Amino acid sequence: RADDGYRLWLKYNLIADAAQRKDYQKAAQFVAVSGQSATLKVAAEELQTGLQGLLGQSVPMLSDAKGKKGGIILQVDAAAADKAGLGPDGYRIYSDKQNLIISGRRDVAVLYGAFALLRQLTTRRTLNNLNISSAPKIQHRLLNHWDNPNGTVERGYAGSSIWKWYELPETIDPRYRDYARANASIGINGTVINNVNASARYLTAEYLQKVAALAGVLRPYGIRVYLSVFWAAPKVIGGLPTSDPLDPRVKQWWTSKTDEVYKAIPDFGGFLVKANSEGEPGPQDYGRTHADGANMLAAALGNHDGLVMWRAFVYKADPKGDRFKAASEEFLPLDGKFAPKVLVQVKNGPIDFQAREPFHPLFGAMPRTPLVLEVQLTQEYLGFATHAVYLAPLIKEVLDADTYAKGQGSTVARVIDGSVDKHSVSGMAGVANIGSDRNWTGHLIGQANWYAYGRLAWDYALTSKAIAEEWTRQTLTTEPQAVQTVAGLMQQTRSIYVRYTTPLGLHHIMGESIHYGPQPWLERSARPDWTSIYYHRADSVGLGFDRTARGSNALALYKPEVQKMWGNAQTIAPDYLLWFHHVPWQQRLSTGRTLWDELCQRYYTGADSVLWLQRQWAAVQPQVDPVLHADVAARLLTQHKEALWWRDACVLYFQTYSRRPIPAPFAPPQ
Ligand code: GCW
C-alpha cells in the first residue's frame, strides 16, 4: 500500500533487517503496566501497536511482569523521578533485571517515555544497556491553531480546519486521537484550538460542550486545551454595554464565564489574547493598558490552574515611525505590572515571521515578565505548502541568539525557559501548519516542521540536523546514505528560500495581503506600514532600512553588545545588513562584491539552488515511498518556477534604482 502521509512519523512498518528485528524482539516480549489510568492505558496501547507493527510479533499486555524477563515495564515512581530531577514530565528508560523500565513522576511522563522508546526502534538505535533520562526545558509546549468556526484556517495551506464544529460534540473524528498521539509523541502538552483573531462563539455554552468533547480526546495524551478569546465577548455574547476590564460587571462576567469553562473542562489551560492589534478590540478601547486587561483575566482565573498568554504583536500605522519598535514602545513600560498568571507572548522577530528576522528586542528586555516565544510553523511568508522550507534552522537561530540581557550567554532560549530572570513558568508556541489534507500539512516537509517544533520545545539544545535525521528515519527511510541526503537538503532549504526571496536582510516585500510571491513595488496599502517600499527603502543611492542612530534607532532597543554586532555596516553579518542599514549600491561588502552584485549573486544562486534540491531529492528516489516521493518532486518543480519569479521580479525592480547591469555570469544573453 502506498504511503499517503497520514501516519506522519508514527509509521511502525515492519523492520526489514531480520537480525535487527530479532534483537529488538528479545527485548520487547511483553508490556507490563500496573494502574488503570487513561494515560497509562494509551501509553501501553501505543507500545503494543508500535511494537507489533515494527517487530511483527504479538506483544501481550500484562498487569504485572511477575518476575518475567525480556519485556517493557511502565512505572510511575515519583520518588525516583524527584531524585533524578526529572520534574513532572521527564522520563527515564533503563535496563533492569533484563527488562526495560520506563519511569516518570506522573503517567504522562511515562507516556513520553513510551514514545521515546518507540523512537529508539523507529530510528534503529540500540535497546541494549539503555539509560536515557530526558526532561523538557520548557513547561508549556503549545500549538496555536488559527482555526475559525466556519472551518477556514487563517494562513492555513493544508486544507480546512481539522476541527469539525458542526459534528461536535456527538461525533468524534478519529483524527483527533491521531492528532493527540502525534503531539504527545513529541512532547506537546497544550493546544490553543482557535484563531487569535477570535470569535466570541467559543465561549458560548453550545461551543463549550464541543470544546469539552475535544478536550476529552486529548486529555489522556497529556494535552490541555486553551482558547483564544475575543476581547469584546462581554458585549457580544454577554449583553453588557462595555468590555472595559475595570468595570465590575465585566470582571464579574469573565469570572463566571471562567468558572463555566472549568466546569466543562476541569483541566482547561487558559486564555490566549490578541488585543488592540490589527483591528481587534482590547482594553485600550477604554483607555486601559494591556496589563489592565491581562490582569483582569488572571483574576477571573482565580484559583483555577490556568494561564493568560497576552500577545505583544502590536503596531501602529505610522509611516514615519518604525514598526520594529512598536511592541517595545507599548510593552516595556508594562514590565513588572503583570499578575503572576500572565505570560507575554512574543513573536520570534519584531516585524512578522519573515524568512529571516533579528530576534525580537523584547527578549531579555522584560526581566519581570515571563515571555513565551511564538514561532510560525504555517508558512505564511515562506512559500505556503509549495516551497520546501525546513524551519528548525530558523527556530534555532532565534533560540541561540544572545540577548546579553544578563551578560554573555543570555540566549533567547534561556530567557524563555526562565533561567535568565528566574521565572518559574515558561512557554513556547508554534502557530500550527495542520489542516484537513490527508497528510496533515500539505507539503511533506511541513510535517518535519511540526515535528521539529515539538522536539525543540522539549529540548532546544538539539541540533536542527539531528532532528532532520531523526524525522527522516521515522518518516521516509532508514537507509543511512539516503538519510544523510534528505537531512542535508532539508538543512539548506531555509537559507535557499531566503536567498531567492529576501537576501541580505530584505523583508516584507511579498505579495499584498496573500503574502505569497514577490511585490517589492507595492507603494500603497490599507496601512502605510504594510507597503514594501516602507521596508526596503530603495532609492538612487542604495537599499535598506536605516535603524541606526542616523535612522529610526531601533538598534538602541538591544544591549550594547548586540548594537555593536549589528550597528556597523562594514562588520555586520551580510544576512542582517539591510535590516539595519541603508547601503549604497556600489558599497563593497565583506563578501568582496558590491551591494548590487551581491544582491544579484544571491537571487541567482538561490534560485539555482532549487535545482540542487531537486537533484538531491531525485537521488533518494529508490529509498522513498513512490507516492510521497512524487509529491515532493512535483512541488520542487513549482518551487523552482516560483523562485525564478522572485528572482526576476526583485532583481529587475531593484535595478530600476541601482541602474547597474546584472553582473556576469548571471546577465541574460543580449
Ligand atoms: O502575520 C500576521 C498575519 C495575520 C495574523 C497576525 C497575527 C492571526 O498576516 O493573519 O493574524 O499576523 O499574528 O496576529
Of 317 and 256, the structure prediction assigns the larger pLDDT to 256
Task: Give the nearest ligand 1 atom to 196 CA.
Answer: 8
Q: Which three cell numbers stand for residue 24?
A: 529488538
**pLDDT tens per residue across span 137-161:** 999 999 999 999 999 999 999 999 9
The pLDDT score that the predictor gives to residue 213 is: 98
The pLDDT score that the predictor gives to residue 604 is: 98
The rounded Cα 247 to chain-centroid distance in angstroms is: 36
Rounded Cα distance between 193 and 180, Å, is: 13
The pLDDT score that the predictor gives to residue 467 is: 99
**pLDDT tens per residue across span 14-71:** 999 999 999 999 999 999 998 889 999 999 999 999 999 999 999 999 999 999 999 9
Q: Tell me, using a 6 A CB cutoff, whether residue 353 lines ligand 1.
A: yes
Q: Tell me, using a 6 A CB cutoff, whether residue 529 lines ligand 1.
A: no
**pLDDT tens per residue across span 467-521:** 999 999 999 999 999 999 999 999 999 999 999 999 999 999 999 999 999 999 9
Question: What are the residues facing 74 on neighbouring strands?
Answer: 33, 102
For the chain, the 3-state helix, strand and coil shares in percent, each to the nearest 5, are: 45, 10, 45
The pLDDT score that the predictor gives to residue 2 is: 79
- Residue 74's φ and ψ, nearest 5 degrees, are -95, 130
Q: Tell me, using a 6 A CB cutoff, whether residue 155 lines ligand 1.
A: yes
195 CA from centroid of ligand 1 (Å) = 10
- Of the residues 107, 147, 292, 380, only one is catalytic, namely 380
DSSP three-state, residue 251: helix
Give kind and range of the element (H or E) at residue 342: strand 342-347
Rounded Cα distance between 605 and 265, Å, is: 53
The pLDDT score that the predictor gives to residue 354 is: 98
Nearest-CA neighbor of 543 among 551, 531, 535? 535
Q: Tell me what ipTM this predicted complex has.
A: 0.99
Cα-Cα-Cα-Cα dihedral sign, residues 502, 507, 509, 515: positive
Nearest-CA neighbor of 202 among 173, 168, 160, 176? 168
Rounded Cα distance between 447 and 378, Å, is: 10
**pLDDT tens per residue across span 245-264:** 999 999 999 999 999 999 99
On whether the CB atoms of residues 12 and 119 are closer than 8 A, the answer is no
Give kind and range of the element (H or E) at residue 270: strand 270-273
Q: Is 537 left (phi over 0), alpha (psi -120 to 50) or beta?
A: left
pLDDT band, very low/low/confident/very high, at 524 (cuts 50, 70, 90): very high
Q: Is the pLDDT of residue 1 over 80?
A: no
**Mean pLDDT of the chain, nearest integer:** 97
Q: Give the residue whose CA is nearest to atom 11 of ligand 1.
A: 197
Q: Is the pLDDT of residue 670 over 90?
A: no
Mind listing the domains of the chain with CATH numbers? 18-134 (3.30.379.10), 140-475 (3.20.20.80), 499-658 (3.90.1330.10)
Q: Give the residue whose CA is nearest to atom 1 of ligand 1.
A: 352
Tell me what the mean pLDDT of segment 616-621 comes to: 98
Q: Is 142 left (phi over 0), alpha (psi -120 to 50) or beta?
A: beta
Q: Is the pLDDT of residue 225 over 70?
A: yes
Compute and round to an integer the Cα radius of gyration of the chain: 26
Instruction: Report the 10 Å Cβ neighbour count for 585.
Output: 21
Tell me what the mean pLDDT of segment 93-120 comes to: 98
Task: Give the nearest ligand 1 atom to 381 CA.
Answer: 1
On whether the CB atoms of residues 122 and 11 are closer than 8 A, the answer is yes
Task: State yes or no: is 380 an active-site residue.
Answer: yes
Q: Which residues contact 391 (CB under 8 A, 6 or more apart)?
A: 375, 377, 379, 382, 449, 452, 453, 494
Rounded Cα distance between 183 and 196, Å, is: 21
**pLDDT tens per residue across span 327-371:** 999 999 999 999 999 999 999 999 999 999 999 999 999 999 999
The pLDDT score that the predictor gives to residue 669 is: 75
Nearest-CA neighbor of 505 among 578, 601, 570? 578
pLDDT band, very low/low/confident/very high, at 668 (cuts 50, 70, 90): confident
The pLDDT score that the predictor gives to residue 447 is: 99
> What one-character DSSP code corresponds to residue 284?
G
Rounded Cα distance between 188 and 124, Å, is: 23
The pLDDT score that the predictor gives to residue 554 is: 98
- Residue 342's φ and ψ, nearest 5 degrees, are -100, 135
In terms of DSSP bridges, do strands 542-543 and 427-431 run parallel, antiparallel, or are they unpaired?
unpaired
Q: Hunting for cell 535612522 — which residue is that?
A: 551
Question: Degrees (nearest 5) of the Cα angle 329, 334, 336?
Answer: 145
- In one letter, which amino acid is 444? L
The pLDDT score that the predictor gives to residue 667 is: 87
Q: Tell me, using a 6 A CB cutoff, whether residue 292 lines ligand 1.
A: no
Does the predicted model carry a pTM greater than 0.90?
yes
Q: Tell me, using a 6 A CB cutoff, whether residue 197 lines ligand 1.
A: yes
Tell me what the mean pLDDT of segment 373-396 comes to: 98
Rounded Cα distance between 146 and 434, Å, is: 10
Task: State yes or no: is 352 an active-site residue.
Answer: yes
DSSP three-state, residue 474: helix
Dihedral angle computed from the Cα positions of residues 128, 47, 467 and 146, in that order, rounded to the nearest 10 degrees: -160
Task: Spell out where 8-71 has E strands.
Answer: 31-33, 61-62
